[in-house]
Amino acid sequence: MRLPSNLTPWFTTDQLMAWVKEAPDKAAYQRRLAMWLTHSAKLPAHQVAEMLVVSVQSVWKWLGEYNTLGPSGLDRKGRGGRRWALMSLEEEREFLAQHLALAQSVDVLTAKHLHPALCRKLGQEVSLDYVYKLLHRHEWRKLAPRPHHAKQDPAASVAFKKNSTKRSKS
């Protein structure tokens, strides 16, 4: 049989019961109930997870947050957001705005052209993939004219378009 999890005594039993009942929403109630089951019933994490229909990892995470940060540790939000961002979205917009004039005047401005400037701005080397993701984040996309042959005859091209037969879709 597995040993029950240890719980730091932030509350007395009565205070813990009242704290569980005061939960503002279902998610908070579920987390607090995990603390209650661990404290009062002395259940191991896998049984608490089974009773609450959550993963064992979630119960261990909640217990760890409660033990280290106290009751307020369970009120924290998830891990969403841009945790590894090197620039804020506003800084990225400013960087791209500086290069927008160049992008409009030159036929093609690629990620390879922006990469050295971005590395200089950040003061560190970044991957080319980071530049592509930055461009995608700000909805920059590849807009380039269709390629054509250097010796192409425009009159012959127009004549071909007028005289060619349309294919039927069968």
pLDDT tens, position by position, 111-133? 888 999 999 999 999 999 999 99
Question: Structural domain tally of the chain?
Answer: 2
User: What pLDDT score was predicted for residue 2?
Assistant: 67
Assess whether pLDDT exceeds 90 at residue 101. no
User: What pLDDT score was predicted for residue 57?
Assistant: 94
Domain endpoint, select from 48, 75, 102:
75
71 is a domain residue = yes
Same domain (yes/no): 17, 66: yes
Q: Residue 108: which of 79, 85, 140 has the closest Cα?
A: 140
> Is the C-alpha dihedral spanning 2, 60, 26, 8 positive or negative?
positive
Q: 0.75 exceeded by the pTM?
A: no
Same domain (yes/no): 93, 59: no
